Amino acid sequence: MPVTVLVLVETINDYLPILEHQGFHLILAPTPTERAEAIARHTGQIDAVLTRGPLGLYADEIAALPNLKIICVIGAGYEHVDLQAAANRGITVTNGAGVNASSVADHAMALLLSLVRDIPRCDAAVRRGEWPKIMRPSLAGKRLGILGLGAVGMAIAKRASAGFDMDICYHNRQRRSDVSYTLCSTPTELARASDFLIVATPGGVGTRQLINRQVLDALGPNGFIVNIARASVIATADLIAALEQRRIAGAALDVFDAEPKVPDALKTLSNVILTPHVAGLSPEATQGTVELVGKNLVAFFSGQPVLTPIELPSAESQLAH
């Protein structure tokens, strides 16, 4: 019997033949209705699930799949995958850390440039037949703060430093010994040391609302913030208030708390740029991500170590009540 993989991701259809050619049987369920139906109908057949961070896989769904052995998450984030439920069952969880780093970093820089140079407003003005001379800051010589210096953060730093002559500082869970960038001990210190701030840290409990009013006030009225990570890292109400009151200069956001819903307050602000969570989407990144999923699945079902395991919590005793 071939290994059956439940695919919950909606953006990778063109690359699913990579998995089919490796002999995996795929069940596609990209909508909430299809997802519920597939889990109910194929409950005993599903060996693996392919999902992404915002889509997750919840404890009740894991419980409904008695033969589930591995969960593969595309992208780095896995915030809505119930790791405790997986650990309790001995289910392996993998992610795609680093595969789409170039795509996300490109989008982060595109957002930063568009925001700082006010490209959308200039474009809209020209389309209206206007010819405004809008004076905007340059990026060269500015201080860029990066919250989270993993694969994405490093790719952003490389582009900003080598391509735009920016000075890089960062806040990370631990100091990186392989870079000469300046480490800041707190997000507030990072914001105070930055002209522009890019959020590139994973989502989840450990990074929830790291960016709040205190941090935004430290960034200041001339500061810009870009978020290509997870919306949960920024306290959205604090961000909206700072933008409305011009306590920061502007924000560019690719991620939102209740996607695809976006707060109306953000849509009406002229100092905000919005994109629909597409930073990690490129043909190159998507192909690489699916190829990594295939390698992890092949390794796992061949009895070999997976390439990108996620560390799970300790299993809880099923006898404890």
Q: Where do we find the tokens 């139906």?
A: 37
Structure-token pair, residue 4: 């059956």
Q: Which pLDDT belongs to residue 321? A: 41
Nearest Cα residue to 63 out of 318, 292, 267: 318
Give the residues of the chain that fall short of pLDDT 50.
319-321
d(CA 156, CA 172): 14
Q: How far is CA 140 from the centre of its chain?
A: 27
Please indicate whether the domains covering 4-99+283-301 and 101-274 agree at the CATH topology level.
yes
Residue 143 contacts residue 220 (beta carbons within 8 Å): no
Q: Which pLDDT belongs to residue 11? A: 87
Q: Which pLDDT belongs to residue 203? A: 85
Residue 49 contacts residue 26 (beta carbons within 8 Å): no
Q: Which pLDDT belongs to residue 95? A: 95
Mind listing the pLDDT tens digit for each residue in 175-212? 999 999 999 999 999 999 999 999 999 888 899 999 99
Residue of 37, 244, 259, 284 marked active site: 259
Residue of 52, 107, 159, 277 marked active site: 277
Q: Is 277 a catalytic residue?
A: yes
**Parallel, antiparallel or unpaired: strands 196-199 and 4-7:** unpaired
Q: Which pLDDT belongs to residue 97? A: 84
Mind listing the pLDDT tens digit for each residue in 297-313? 999 999 999 999 999 99
Superfamily (CATH) of domain 4-99+283-301:
NAD(P)-binding Rossmann-like Domain (3.40.50.720)
Q: Which pLDDT belongs to residue 318? A: 58
Domain locations along the chain: 4-99+283-301, 101-274
- CATH topology classification for 101-274: Rossmann fold (3.40.50)
Half-sphere exposure of 278 (CA within 13 A, CB side): 8
Q: Is 259 a catalytic residue?
A: yes
Residue of 230, 244, 291, 316 marked active site: 230
